[in-house]
Amino acid sequence: MEELEASELGTLQYWENRYKKEIDNFSNHGDMGEIWFGEDIADKVILWMFKNIEKSCSIVDVGCGNGHILIELANEGYVDLTGLDYSEKAVNLAKAIAANKHFQIRYHVCDILKGLEHTYDIIHDKGTYDAISLSENSKESREMYIVSIKQALKPNGNFIITSCNWTHSELQEQYKDFFKLHYIIPTPQFMFGGKIGSVVSICVFKHVNN
Ligand SMILES: C[S@@+](CC[C@H](N)C(=O)[O-])C[C@H]1O[C@@H](n2cnc3c(N)ncnc32)[C@H](O)[C@@H]1O
């Protein structure tokens, strides 16, 4: 499979600079910052979780950014919520937003590629695997990411990923030795050159042996 061309979105420096500005925006205007892929896409994930995932499940958002999805899940009554990001500034922003809303969400600085400390029922990723796919050593980094996720997902858990860089079948191909596709959350489709495609893919994976 062809690797994507490396870009600044695959560097920690880019995210640190970006979240520094977003912290200023939040302190000055109360604006929580970008919702990656838009609110409609986030709502689709939240609705699927609301219908399929018990409120007591442990949920981690890898590359949580401002923590938008965790705030929405807290609003829906989920209580065991953790956000991880390798950008300290992202974690500071997410903590400030959660504190402002009086939600108890654990946030930690963590490079996903180095492994997670705990295991979870649900692992959620929106845009993080995409960012990792744009790093310099993307092939190795993608492999390290998959191993980290595999180790951190509880035996019957769900790994939910939203990507704009990879299609459902590309994700399935990349994860096939580790995870099997459990469900595709439908997203708006477009027709181009006689083929139907989606701008954003949302997939739910489970361990291959489940
Ligand atoms: C496109 S943003 C998405 C943020 C958030 N998931 C959302 O949907 O708003 C990608 C995020 O992944 C984080 N990230 C990238 N590589 C990472 C890594 N190796 N470990 C942890 N976080 C990472 C970035 O800091 C950034 O917050």
Q: What is the CATH number of domain 8-207?
A: 3.40.50.150
Q: And the tokens for 44?
A: 């689709």
Q: How far is CA 99 from CA 49, 66, 139, 191, in A?
A: 24, 12, 37, 43
The domain locations on the chain are: 8-207
Q: How far is CA 62 from CA 179, 190, 195, 210, in A?
A: 17, 29, 32, 22
Q: How far away, in angstroms, is 65 Cα from ligand 1 center? A: 6
Q: pLDDT 10s per residue in the chain (210 long)?
A: 788 888 999 999 999 999 999 999 999 999 999 999 999 999 999 999 999 999 999 999 999 999 999 999 999 999 999 999 999 999 999 999 999 999 999 999 999 999 999 999 999 999 999 999 999 999 999 999 999 999 999 999 999 999 999 999 999 999 999 999 999 999 987 776 777 767 899 999 999 886
Hey, whose CA ends up nearest to atom 10 of ligand 1? 128
User: What one-letter code names the amino acid at 37?
Assistant: F
Strand partners, 158: 122
Q: How far away, in angstroms, is 176 Cα from ligand 1 center? A: 23
What is the distance between the alpha carbons of residues 149 and 60, in angstroms, rounded to a whole number?
11
User: What one-letter code names the amino acid at 6?
Assistant: A
Q: What percent of the chain has pLDDT over 90?
A: 90
In short, whether 63's Cβ falls inside 6 Å of ligand 1 is yes
* H or E, element range at 71: helix 68-75
**Which is nearest to 163 in space by CA: 195, 120, 197?**
197
Q: What is the pLDDT of residues 148-192, one digit of tens each?
A: 999 999 999 999 999 999 999 999 999 999 999 999 999 987 776
Hey, whose CA ends up nearest to atom 23 of ligand 1? 63
